Structure 1
Amino acid sequence: MKTQVAIVGAGPAGLLLGHLLKAEGIDCVVVERQQPDYILGRIRAGVLEQITVGLMSRLGLDARLKAEGLVEEGFNLADGERLIRIDVANLTGKTVVVYGQTEITKDLMDAAPSRGLQIIYGADDVALHDIESDTPSVSFTHDGTAHRLDARFIVGCDGFHGPSRKAIPQSAVREYERVYPFGWLGILADVPPCNHELIYANHERGFALASMRSHTRSRYYVDVPLTEKIEDWSDDRIWDELAVRLGPEAAANITRGPSIEKSIAPLRSYVFEPMRHGSLLLCGDSAHIVPPTGAKGLNLAASDVHYAAEALTAYFKHASNDAVEGYSTKALARVWKSERFSWSLTKLMHRFPDDGPFERAMQVAELDYIATSTAAQTSIAENYVGLPV
């Protein structure tokens, strides 16, 4: 098999890139280890910045997003006694949209056949070859038969555990990582949200987040030590804890219900440099991980894809290699700014095990400053809604 661009991974990043390249008349093939049902069964966040919404609109695949997405004009920080509203719309002139990552993935999957985007699901033993040459390839087995996909470029959109990043020699890379000493215990339930906007809460018992997927489906989180086990947390225990941590105003509006899904997700910050090596480009979680505080994961992947699509389009349609050469530097500039925001919001809203009275006093002072400063709220708002690409 031969194509211009081989894309490894059919999550939202890989699918979005595939559609953008096909729209420019660039031939590409997506290779994915899992089956569609598995991919769509993964529960992920869905606060979309304008870069993500804009790419879906540009592709003409935003009909369901516009019909079902919830436009959010702000969000709240809670300190145990009050809600500090960050009026994103008034402070920046922009909004975010709540629309699940699973739904974006489904929209992109469903449109693939009619737009001629070839996706090979169930590809085992995926490996990358000759990435330092102009003739890289991807090998894999499918239905027991060995295949090789020759390409001019490979784009790794295969997540943190995929083979793409590992294909780059260790001598050529730098890795940055911060592992956090807690995880987020999440509960998904078919109940109306307790607030029409997200609430990030810093309580003496720990962090909590109230978010939503729709007017009738809610997603809540509390932070817990990494030693906790999900089987020790009944639905009632989670609802009780949320009522305490979110504060009396939010607690009064919580609707309890049976969980659809419960899980504990560890938190980390991670950056891999460079995001391009030879003929291989990396996008999304294959190159960086952000803690979910601030909802940057999917949106960072979308901005990576935006830059990668621009670079590859310039190469194939205008015979220019400059954008490919500059892809890593351009993408990483936005990655590090988003990492900074996610880290700072995580530090502000969580109680770390080693924190003492001084660290807590700093959190209180920072929250009080944010509550009374338009400048501080503007800084948070412009980062939350998404920095320019």
Structure 2
Amino acid sequence: MLGMTTRRTQVGIVGAGPSGLLLSHLLARQGIDSIVVENRGRDYVEERVRAGVLEQGTIDTLAEAGLGERMMAEGLFHDGIEIRFDGQAHRIDFPSLTGGKRIMVYGQNEVVKDLIDARLEAGGAIVFDVDDTAIEGIDGESPTIRYGKDGAEHAIACDYIAGCDGFHGICRPSISEAALTGYDRVYPFAWLGVLADSRPPSREVAYCHSERGFALLSLRSPTVSRLYIQVAPDEDIANWPDQRFWDELQRRTAVEGAAPIETGPILHKGITPMRSFVAEPMRNGRLFLAGDAAHIVPPTGAKGMNLAVADIRFLTEALAAFYRTGDTAGLDGYSARALRRVWKAQRFSWWMTTMLHLSPDDSPFDRRRQRAELDYVTGSEAAMRTIAENYVGLPFETGLTP
């Protein structure tokens, strides 16, 4: 191993996903230095297939930060969603229920590409392909990120560290169990998802409840579909050859008057477990957690990346206030402020998940109640407004204190 190299920055960021990159970008716009370290290569980070539904607030945040040019040109605005059951499709119109708000389909990997391009063009520091990353000194005045790169040891001395390294990263486990509470729920089903080179079967995202299980129709572009079906959490993907997937998807999503789903080459196939998790608090000493490092939501409510963007908005405001005035009120209130939004998103995601999926623990009563709930939410304007305002994104809180 070669000698140690030490650098200094104001905010050290672990993880070059959407939350870490957006934080670095927004801090730079406030004149605050940061360095991002990532254990994967740039190509891997840019090509990870993840969710792609952006709330109105996320769209606005990216556009206001100068990141909207390609997003606005290539992203697909959607004015609503469908809920399908009993062979019928029911549409929920967002703009009419939310004062004009919409969502956009724009892949998370595309957001990451835009952020990396913007940071590197501005001379931002992103270090890819690091190993043996560790953080230390978060209870002191100068915490440190240590990592290996090209056979040498490196250290970054910081004022603060942002843990944006995902659910399986090193930042959250660095907090003692006594200082952090984890709230966890694992659902008894998973999603088998595919990315297919085929024309999307629905012009908007369609949630489909059937006696065979849940299915979801979505898209990444006018010619590329993103499709899911509910499976057991321990399902072997080898049991799902392409044709079986297409046949099952057709059965679960069929509604009166709809054409058969157009099949095509499957570009990617994977199984996503369904889980809810929240870490409280989202701060320990000079370490702040954001995004998946702090919370996981089931994908039913399309909240994952949008929650990460909200975390970063709050953290950026708090750090900017500190560096501008020395006031720590925003930093002290960050966790409580972020968690209020996190738990509202958890509630919505849990509700959508349990309303639409079949559970092996369901009784006949549960099935009848579920059917009645679907009838209610597609027949009541008040219920549809509840779905719409949560789906497009609740307003951001103002003010930095709890």
Query: TM-score range with shorter-chain normalisation?
Result: over 0.9
Look up the match of 1:97.
104
Whether contact under 8 Å (2:53, 2:107) holds in the other structure is yes
What does 1:1-389 correspond to in 2, within 5 Å? 1-92=7-98, 93-249=100-256, 252-389=259-396
Residue identity opposite 1:307 in structure 2:
F
- CA–CA separation in structure 2 for the residues paired with 1:187 and 1:258: 10
- CA–CA separation in structure 1 for the residues paired with 2:161 and 2:257: 47
SS of equivalent to 1:248: coil
Residue identity opposite 2:320 in structure 1:
T
SS of equivalent to 2:120: coil
SS of equivalent to 1:61: coil
SS of equivalent to 1:237: helix
- CA–CA separation in structure 2 for the residues paired with 1:242 and 1:344: 23
SS of equivalent to 1:17: helix
SS of equivalent to 1:351: coil
- CA–CA separation in structure 1 for the residues paired with 2:348 and 2:379: 20
Identity, % of aligned positions: 51
- CA–CA separation in structure 2 for the residues paired with 1:104 and 1:80: 37
Name stretches of at least 5 consecutive residues in structure 2 with no aligned partner.
Answer: 1-6, 397-402
SS of equivalent to 1:103: helix
Aligned residue pairs: how many?
A: 389
Alpha-carbon distance change, 346 to 290 in structure 1, aligned in 2, over 3 angstroms: same
Look up the match of 2:400.
none
- CA–CA separation in structure 2 for the residues paired with 1:261 and 1:160: 22
Q: CA deviation at 1:227?
A: 2.6
- CA–CA separation in structure 1 for the residues paired with 2:163 and 2:328: 19
Cα RMSD (Å) of the superposition? Answer: 1.0
Q: CA deviation at 1:80?
A: 2.9
Q: Normalization by structure 1: what TM-score? A: 0.98
SS of equivalent to 1:203: coil
SS of equivalent to 1:111: helix
Alpha-carbon distance change, 317 to 250 in structure 1, aligned in 2, over 3 angstroms: farther
Alpha-carbon distance change, 307 to 250 in structure 1, aligned in 2, over 3 angstroms: farther
Structure 1 ranges of 4+ moved more than 2 A: 248-251
Residue identity opposite 1:217 in structure 2:
V
SS of equivalent to 1:86: strand
Whether contact under 8 Å (1:125, 1:141) holds in the other structure is yes
